Structure 1
């Protein structure tokens, strides 16, 4: 296990997370800017609009397929080397997609671009958790989430502008430029570990993974993460089809509809930062998840009374995103710290499990949506949040009780 010196959060120490979040923003807007353009892209490639959500699912699949290696590799080679190499790879794949002429090659490049997600989750997040003390790490994650949330807020509006006035190709050029800028910031500000990095052979990777995957607390908390995050992911994947094709909104109206939903996530993260030092760690989750369940119930009400669907989906998803904002960073911390194995390996295991689940659920709901439309979306969101109230909730309460018994706040 790699031991590192943690630091307190200050203006100086925040420069590394700020550089990392610029890359995170580039990777996220690489999805959020592209999704509203997918209707135009599928039309250009002469394929059905049913392919539109696949841009997101292949992006996530790419991240899932490489995370298992990046985390352990960064344990052995160093986080900084792997992170800087990952940024360059992402830049190159963003530029290569400009040369695609069919949906198959486009999705292949989206798969490769998805490696950037693993660079952040399996390497960057592990470095954050190692660099800062417990509650400071949660605050940093929440602050980063708020900055990166500019991507889904700005992305749909910029994507709509590109569709109407220029070309979707320029979006990828802009994304590559932002990621390239982040490379310089990370090179200058990312700390080098003072502790020595274990020089174990790569054959040890599978042994480490077996120890992580046999940890029941880790598995329960990690499998609970996509239950919490999935409704908003489905919103990002399916909202272009729901709002533009089903409800007839314009591209600009679609972009504006994202503001209250994603604004709820920003507000949730701000509230988390403000109150995380005052409450027992985990308490915000017990507040946030019931709000998310209420939000998904409102989605079902909107499907029953279809004339109110637009209002219900915006209100319901705003509650869902607010609940996620005050919950997710805490749950991620608990999942990551539930195993004593090197944090690069643990973060990689979290990333692989989450992104594979994201891929399969998005593809499943995409197929169900083709048959059952809004019902498929609403019921899926409700079922995902309801599932969290089974094993993951019990494990969370168990962790909180253990912390209380140890005198940890």
Structure 2
């Protein structure tokens, strides 16, 4: 059993040590824009394939499902073979699948390739993030995660605008060519700058993976924190998945107007991450989460009011989702760190366990809301967002407060 964390020398944040996270975030950017550029183009893609626009959110949900299905193996594999080796193989695989999708002619084959591209999500979350947490000290790791999030947020900001440009002027195929190019660039950066520490891990059979996962998932603290992550992130994920249908089809916005509507919403997430970096050293770890979640609840209530007063929906959804994204920005990296450190099992396995739980949740919730949206439209979106945030104030909030109390009693800031 891998009950003990492998001891590694952590480093402090400096210009030199930032080169590895910057190379990793280039891949993260390519994976995220692999969703954020494609989602706006899905209306054109479904038209090309001769199917209903109802298929549009499935591009995102199958992308997430692909990540969920392989995450369980990525983390433990990187524990045994080394983070760097597994990460480089995953980056190359993602780039190749982006090129293969150019040859699809049906929505089924398109979604199958989207499923395979989703493996890239697991490479980041189960391998890349684990390497970041192991490389840097606690608060520096949170700062690096927040900084990476801000850079990768260029993807959802630029994606809708680039997607609109591709639809209007060229072809959606060029988007995947550009994504593959970025992934290949990141591969060279990671090969040159990613540390590759020689960590002694007992050579145990792969059957021990199951025993490690059982220990992780029996940990109530881990479950409470990890369930809180998709509750916190899901409203913005639903926005990215459904906003093309809501804003373009329901409200009649143009592709360019749709792209511009993303700026305040995703700008809120960027501002939230900047605020987190600025205040993380001043407050007890976890305090920003307790501030961010009430703001997110207020944001989802504003979205709900917009559905009641439909003539104000556009203004309410943009204002509400901006509050939601800001709250996520000051909360997510802290909650992720707590979740990853809640178990003594090796960090690759724990990171993979987080990824599996999160991405399966993302897949099922997006597909459920997609079906509900067919029948209830904007009501389905608003009620889903509100319900997810309300649920956070149950078991996840209690778990977080328990951890913060334990840290205070131990004299940890």
Could you tell me the TM-score, scaled by structure 2's length?
A: 0.99
Q: CA deviation at 1:195?
A: 2.9
Find the partner of 1:257 among 247, 258, 261: 261
Find the partner of 2:359 among 355, 360, 365: 355
Q: CA deviation at 1:3?
A: 1.8
Equivalent position of 1:316 in the other structure: 320
Contact 1:75/1:198 (8 A) holds in 2? no
Equivalent position of 1:195 in the other structure: 199
Find the partner of 2:385 among 356, 360, 381: 381
In 1, the alpha carbon distance for the partners of 2:72 and 2:198 equals: 25
Equivalent position of 1:295 in the other structure: 299
In 1, the alpha carbon distance for the partners of 2:80 and 2:34 equals: 29
Q: Deviations over 1:280-313 (max 9, x none)?
A: 0000000000000000000011000000000000
Q: How does 1:201-216 map to 2 (within 5 A)?
A: 201-216=205-220
Q: Deviations over 1:25-69 (max 9, x none)?
A: 000000000000000000010000000000000000000000000
In 2, the alpha carbon distance for the partners of 1:350 and 1:193 equals: 23
In 2, the alpha carbon distance for the partners of 1:358 and 1:32 equals: 15
Determine if the alignment matches structure 1 residue 225 to structure 2 residue 229. Answer: yes
Q: Deviations over 1:347-402 (max 9, x none)?
A: 00000000000000000000000000000000100000000000100010000000
Q: CA deviation at 1:201?
A: 1.8
Q: CA deviation at 1:198?
A: 2.9
Equivalent position of 1:62 in the other structure: 66
TM-align CA RMSD: 0.5
In 1, the alpha carbon distance for the partners of 2:6 and 2:409 equals: 27
SS in 2 for 1:233: helix
Determine if the alignment matches structure 1 residue 173 to structure 2 residue 177. Answer: yes
Unaligned runs of 5+ in 2: none
Q: How does 1:87-102 map to 2 (within 5 A)?
A: 87-102=91-106
Contact 1:2/1:75 (8 A) holds in 2? no
Equivalent position of 1:344 in the other structure: 348
In 2, the alpha carbon distance for the partners of 1:17 and 1:193 equals: 16
Q: CA deviation at 1:196?
A: 2.0
Find the partner of 2:283 among 260, 279, 282: 279
Unaligned runs of 5+ in 1: none
In 2, the alpha carbon distance for the partners of 1:311 and 1:213 equals: 41
Determine if the alignment matches structure 1 residue 135 to structure 2 residue 139. Answer: yes
Tell which deviates more after alignment, 1-10 or 134-143.
1-10
Query: Which 4+ runs in 1 deviate beyond 4 A?
Result: none
In 1, the alpha carbon distance for the partners of 2:6 and 2:374 equals: 48
Equivalent position of 1:145 in the other structure: 149
Q: How does 1:17-166 map to 2 (within 5 A)?
A: 17-166=21-170
Q: Deviations over 1:116-170 (max 9, x none)?
A: 0000000000000000000000000000000000000000000000000000000
Q: CA deviation at 1:194?
A: 3.6
Could you tell me the TM-score, scaled by structure 1's length?
A: 1.00
Equivalent position of 2:12 in the other structure: 8
In 1, the alpha carbon distance for the partners of 2:258 and 2:230 equals: 25
In 1, the alpha carbon distance for the partners of 2:197 and 2:342 equals: 22
Tell which deviates more after alignment, 200-209 or 34-43.
200-209
SS in 2 for 1:11: coil
In 1, the alpha carbon distance for the partners of 2:129 and 2:250 equals: 38
Q: Deviations over 1:11-30 (max 9, x none)?
A: 00010000000000000000
Contact 1:2/1:198 (8 A) holds in 2? no
